[in-house]
Structure 1
Amino acid sequence: MGYQALYRVFRPQTFEDLVGQEHVTKTLQSALLQRKISHAYLFSGPRGTGKTSAAKVFAKAVNCLKSPTMEPCNQCVNCKGITDGSISDVIEIDAASNNGVDEIRDIRDKVKYAPSSVSFKVYIIDEVHMLSIGAFNALLKTLEEPPAHVIFILATTEPHKIPLTIISRCQRFDFKRITVKTIVSHLKNVVENQSIEVEDGVLNVVASAADGGMRDALSLLDQAISFSDGKVTLEDVLTITGSVSQKELSELVSSIQNKDVSNALNRVDNLMNHGKDPAKLIEDLIYYHRDILLYITSPNLEQILERTTIDQRFKEIAEEIVPESIYGIIEVLNKSQQEMKWTNHPRIFIEIAVVKLCENVQPQPTQQPMEDQNFYEQRIEKLENQLNNLMKSPVSQAPEQEKASKKPLRSGFKIPTGRIKEILKEATRQDLDSVKGIWGQLLEELKRQNKVSHAALLNESEPVASSKKAVILKFKYEIHCKMVSENNNDVLSNLQNLLSTLTGKPLEVVGVPDREWGDIRKQFIEEQKADAPENGSSEQQNEDPIISEAKKIVGVELLEIKD
């Protein structure tokens, strides 16, 4: 065969070759040495982190003629046969194209047969999350109790799509993204082995663009080698990956800090004209500011910086920028990045973000003269003295009724106290029972109409009084009362229409928070008591107004009067 891609040439053949997954390899090696081999494994993690390679290395190690061993020898007949695919007892299955019930039934029928040339028959099912529900069910029993000579290794990038019944029957290993530093170290060995000449910074750009995947890093390096003319230059790699050099990023960030909109937009325009990806540029800007923030707060932890190297220009910008402004900068950039996903013109959003940042960046505060500091200290001391005097002075107590009427709500909702009292004057127990009788039906109707949010708002509400024209709804939470009363998302209109339909008469809905309802009702009863001698009949004058109001609200049949 002719040329082979780098990721195939440098595919791991031993556990030691697996880069950045020491937590997985150490556990598997210990299990091999102690012969504590499970019947099923689940390897999950991002693409290009070594899941399938680890499965194949494990299959070689468990079947190696030198077993038990921590590493496959890669010299015996078994190891060589598994590596070149000539041994039929190690079966690799792509679940993306073999995801039906029939394929899994075929596996279930064949697992009973002993391996022909090695100790263990190993099934490696890649992208197992692509199996159908029926296929998972067909695999379930076999996966739980396979024959002693069978090992299942499932690999996936999306473990959340796998049924829990499958996951619980496997030993799970989570492969993590490989750090930039680790990828760079491995790529150095690759270029040395292949005698490839690269410029400084090339491997860092490749590792950053790989996003934690070693296979992606090797593929990008392979592409850069093909693109370059002998020596891989930084400009070649930046062109291939669509990334921006740190020098250009530093100049763009410097223009934003200096509020030089014209210069900043010219730099963005130049980058776009050279084919840079707007989404990649905004991602690089986010990481650049992230690294500045970490460098400012922890200058001694250079190893935690993700995308940048600490050069002289980077240090100068870190000294100029205000740490508090970085939070706002990242927020603006992140919002623009999200909006880019839903547009055909992402360049517009990067330009808008740059303009916003130039307008909103706060200049570094200058040191206040000592005279100004003394002035402010005296002013603060004077205000503290005034506050202490106010706290010591007696505060006039307002009447209880005035307190209740002026008590502000946290949500800013103004209670229609007058309208509530008007409804109470006409409220009857019969009207309230009528509304309560259809309240559960009303909530079910909202859910049936897919108005789940409306039903959720009304779930903690309760009709507490009703006349022939209006209903008073008591809400447990003020914010729900405000949202319904202000007709957010047409919830009030829909509620009144349903009430009219179910009761056969138009009803106005007035909301009141739970903590205010008791005070308003108490005020109303006291007012009725005060007005009773003047406006009531002789029979009503002889009856206690509180009892009269209780009869109206509760009903005579439920009221018991004791002297």
Structure 2
Amino acid sequence: MSYQALYRVWRPQKFEDIAGQQAITKTLRNAIVQDKTSHAYLFTGPRGTGKTSAAKIFAKAINCPNVKEGEPCNDCEICQSISQGKLGDVIEIDAASNNGVEEIRDIRDKANYAPTQAEYKVYIIDEVHMLSMGAFNALLKTLEEPPANVIFILATTEPHKIPLTIISRTQRFDFRRISPQDIVSRMKYILTQKSVEFEEDALTTISKAAEGGMRDALSILDQALSFSEGKLKTEDAMRITGSITQDLLSEYIRAVYTRETEKGLNILHELIAEGKDPSRFVEDIILFSRDVLLYQTAQSDILLKMGKADDKFIQLSTEVDSILLYEVIKIFNQTQQEMRLSNHAEVYLEVATVRLTQPTNPYLKKEEIKKQPEVEEVSSAELSDLKKQLADMQRLIQNISGSEESAKAAPSKPKRSKSSLVFKVNRPSVYKVLEKATKNDLAQLKDVWPDLMNVLEASQKAIMNTSTPVAASPQGLVVTFDYDILCERATNDTLLLNTIGEYLEKVIGHRAELISVPAEQWPVIRQEFIKRMKEEPGDPSDVHSENTSPQEEKEETEPIVSEAFKIFGEQIVKVED
């Protein structure tokens, strides 16, 4: 095959050819010039940022007899052999397929031999994080006490997977993502050398799609050149990368700003019909909104990632409120999370569009809020009704106050107190369980209680979470709760009681009726039962009738008081003017 991909043909051959890594290349050049090279290096960073290329250039520069200012000449026999991969003293190893202990031991043994042609023997281990732990341990001894004239260069995209004992014995260089400007400059140079016409916006589109990787950018450029006919156009780059034009993004933001739901949905459906990736649309909208927001603040196009500061962009930034942009970023960020778990991404995009274009959104412009007096106006008829209701309530309050004073004057009618709202224990049922309760039944119940909690549903578990079995008989069990409201819910939840009964019948062989008791009342009830059993060893179930106080009996209330309870609640309060 005669044709070679662009990223192979235009692979950097000098440090100055590596785009966007000036700090790293300068450090390596100075180390060579000053003869301060290390025995081991670690190159980390995203894919396509120049790690392996820098390693090969370093191997050439340190062995080149004609090195000048830290740069290899690329003309001597050593440089030519390394560029063609034929020099035996520069060994490039893929750790993904050679990750065992035996391979690393072989490297360690051969490293003891002196180089044959070059001055230094250089081992370049790519994707070093793929090595096994045994292989790392085998490599550790060599890095700790390296042979003379041997240099190891480790390259990886995932440095967190490398043991710290390895990292601490190397000089680490972190390759950063290449900026779009550097990627565009490199592509311009390549296309100029190839005498290919191009539109600069096309290169900008490719650089954004590459996401900081030069190799990815050159691969996309290769596709775009194959698709185009003589000249690289922006439309071609858009189709290859699946990008969305800035005009469409501006139109969508404007539709959201003017709350034109139909227009926003039409733009969305048009993009989906063209085969655009919904996830890519979400990312583009977020980045474009970010660009508009930053341009509103800084009035500079240096920080822009998606947008180009043309007339339409500047006009949009002056019109759109920043609150809207915050809302767009927030909602589309939520949409992006939801789309990852669904096969219907377009549905979430439609919902996000409707949410943003609804007139009740909190990002309404101040001028529009001022133009909506009808929201705050109240009709005269509604005002009359409100006044009438207020008068009725005032009369009702006066009646309640009179009823309260009457209740104080007449002790024969006890007022409703807070104690009447406390959960009322079914004492006869509790006494019936206590009469036949045994320690064995309680111990058996406590053993299965944690397993019972795991069987319950989440809502049922929330009720029973603070429950504690305190007494048990073959026919029933008494359970205490920390709060009265939980007692009431447990008592009234038929499904919960059935679930507990069926589980106990399955596990311990008999069905037991659950009786709820507040934890603070349990000691009193237990002492009452013991006392009654000593005094009347007969039937303790009739203790309830003797023990019931007048306050616990259900009282009859006047109609006006009943109506007040419906409106204001059962707690009587004193109203002061």
Q: Using a 3 Å threshold, how does the CA distance of structure 1 residues 485 and 529 change in structure 2: closer, same or farther?
A: closer
Q: Which residue of 2 aligns with 1:265?
A: 265
Deviation at 1:242, TM superposition (A): 0.9
User: Cα deviation per residue 1:191-214 (whole Å; 9 max; x = unaligned)?
Assistant: 333333222412211110101111
Q: Which residue of 2 aligns with 1:319?
A: 318
- What does residue range 130-529 of structure 1 map to in structure 2 within 5 Å? 130-296=130-296, 298-341=297-340, 346-359=345-358, 362-366=363-367, 465=470, 467-468=472-473, 469-470=476-477, 521=519
Deviation at 1:531, TM superposition (A): 11
Q: Which residue of 2 aligns with 1:120?
A: 120
Q: What CA distance in whole angstroms lies between the structure 2 residues aligned with 1:176 and 1:156? A: 13
Q: Tell me the SS of whatever aligns to 2:302.
A: helix
- The answer as to whether partners of 2:257 and 2:324 remain within 8 angstroms in 1 is no
Q: Which residue of 2 aligns with 1:7?
A: 7
Q: What CA distance in whole angstroms lies between the structure 2 residues aligned with 1:419 and 1:67? A: 97
Q: What CA distance in whole angstroms lies between the structure 2 residues aligned with 1:355 and 1:303? A: 33
| Structure 2: tracts of 5 or more residues without a match | 378-416, 538-577
Segment of structure 1 superposing worse, 351-360 or 214-223: 351-360
- The answer as to whether partners of 1:39 and 1:150 remain within 8 angstroms in 2 is yes
- The answer as to whether partners of 1:464 and 1:474 remain within 8 angstroms in 2 is no
Deviation at 1:228, TM superposition (A): 1.7
User: Cα deviation per residue 1:259-304 (whole Å; 9 max; x = unaligned)?
Assistant: 32333333333333434333222221121112222223x2334322
Q: What CA distance in whole angstroms lies between the structure 2 residues aligned with 1:420 and 1:52? A: 82
- The answer as to whether partners of 1:424 and 1:467 remain within 8 angstroms in 2 is no
Q: Tell me the SS of whatever aligns to 2:332.
A: helix
Q: Using a 3 Å threshold, how does the CA distance of structure 1 residues 359 and 66 change in structure 2: closer, same or farther?
A: same
User: Cα deviation per residue 1:47-101 (whole Å; 9 max; x = unaligned)?
Assistant: 1111111111222222232579533343444333322222111111122333344
The amino acid that maps onto 2:367 is T
Segment of structure 1 superposing worse, 214-223 or 128-137: 128-137
| Structure 1: tracts of 5 or more residues without a match | 377-400, 407-415, 476-480, 512-516, 541-563
Q: What CA distance in whole angstroms lies between the structure 1 residues aligned with 2:462 and 2:40? A: 48
Q: Tell me the SS of whatever aligns to 1:309.
A: coil
Q: Using a 3 Å threshold, how does the CA distance of structure 1 residues 12 and 461 change in structure 2: closer, same or farther?
A: farther
The amino acid that maps onto 1:148 is A
Q: What CA distance in whole angstroms lies between the structure 2 residues aligned with 1:164 and 1:492? A: 57
Q: Tell me the SS of whatever aligns to 1:173.
A: strand
Q: What CA distance in whole angstroms lies between the structure 2 residues aligned with 1:136 and 1:462? A: 53
Deviation at 1:33, TM superposition (A): 4.1
Q: Which residue of 1 aligns with 2:81?
A: 81
Deviation at 1:250, TM superposition (A): 1.1
Q: Using a 3 Å threshold, how does the CA distance of structure 1 residues 47 and 521 change in structure 2: closer, same or farther?
A: same
CA RMSD, Structure 1 to Structure 2 (Å)? 4.9
Q: Which residue of 2 aligns with 1:21?
A: 21
- The answer as to whether partners of 1:197 and 1:230 remain within 8 angstroms in 2 is yes
- The answer as to whether partners of 2:5 and 2:219 remain within 8 angstroms in 1 is yes
Deviation at 1:40, TM superposition (A): 2.5
The amino acid that maps onto 1:366 is E
Q: What CA distance in whole angstroms lies between the structure 2 residues aligned with 1:40 and 1:186? A: 30
Q: What CA distance in whole angstroms lies between the structure 2 residues aligned with 1:161 and 1:176? A: 18
Q: Using a 3 Å threshold, how does the CA distance of structure 1 residues 202 and 320 change in structure 2: closer, same or farther?
A: same
Q: What CA distance in whole angstroms lies between the structure 2 residues aligned with 1:61 and 1:404? A: 92
Segment of structure 1 superposing worse, 238-247 or 138-147: 138-147
Q: Using a 3 Å threshold, how does the CA distance of structure 1 residues 421 and 191 change in structure 2: closer, same or farther?
A: farther
The amino acid that maps onto 1:206 is I
Q: What CA distance in whole angstroms lies between the structure 2 residues aligned with 1:250 and 1:44? A: 38
Q: Using a 3 Å threshold, how does the CA distance of structure 1 residues 238 and 509 change in structure 2: closer, same or farther?
A: farther
Segment of structure 1 superposing worse, 163-172 or 300-309: 163-172
User: Cα deviation per residue 1:97-150 (whole Å; 9 max; x = unaligned)?
Assistant: 333444333323322211111222111111223334444444343344332222
Q: Using a 3 Å threshold, how does the CA distance of structure 1 residues 531 and 328 change in structure 2: closer, same or farther?
A: farther
User: Cα deviation per residue 1:490-538 (whole Å; 9 max; x = unaligned)?
Assistant: 9999999998888787678999xxxxx9xx65566578889999x6856
Q: What CA distance in whole angstroms lies between the structure 2 residues aligned with 1:466 and 1:49? A: 71
- The answer as to whether partners of 1:321 and 1:364 remain within 8 angstroms in 2 is no
TM-score when normalising by structure 1: 0.69
Q: Which residue of 2 aligns with 1:381?
A: none
Q: Tell me the SS of whatever aligns to 1:303.
A: coil
Q: What CA distance in whole angstroms lies between the structure 2 residues aligned with 1:342 and 1:207? A: 29
Q: Which residue of 1 aligns with 2:54?
A: 54
TM-score when normalising by structure 2: 0.68
User: Cα deviation per residue 1:359-397 (whole Å; 9 max; x = unaligned)?
Assistant: 375432217779x9xx99xxxxxxxxxxxxxxxxxxxxx
Q: What CA distance in whole angstroms lies between the structure 2 residues aligned with 1:163 and 1:40? A: 15
Say which one has the larger Rg. Answer: 2
- Residues paired across the two proteins, number: 483
Q: What CA distance in whole angstroms lies between the structure 2 residues aligned with 1:368 and 1:349? A: 28
- The answer as to whether partners of 2:480 and 2:522 remain within 8 angstroms in 1 is no
Q: What CA distance in whole angstroms lies between the structure 1 residues aligned with 2:247 and 2:418? A: 67
- The answer as to whether partners of 1:197 and 1:232 remain within 8 angstroms in 2 is yes
Q: What CA distance in whole angstroms lies between the structure 1 residues aligned with 2:496 and 2:280? A: 43
Q: Which residue of 2 aligns with 1:561?
A: none
User: Cα deviation per residue 1:390-430 (whole Å; 9 max; x = unaligned)?
Assistant: xxxxxxxxxxx959989xxxxxxxxx785899979978995
Segment of structure 1 superposing worse, 316-325 or 493-502: 493-502
- The answer as to whether partners of 2:445 and 2:469 remain within 8 angstroms in 1 is no
The percentage of aligned residue pairs carrying the same residue is 45
Q: Using a 3 Å threshold, how does the CA distance of structure 1 residues 439 and 348 change in structure 2: closer, same or farther?
A: closer
The amino acid that maps onto 1:59 is A
Q: What CA distance in whole angstroms lies between the structure 2 residues aligned with 1:438 and 1:422? A: 23
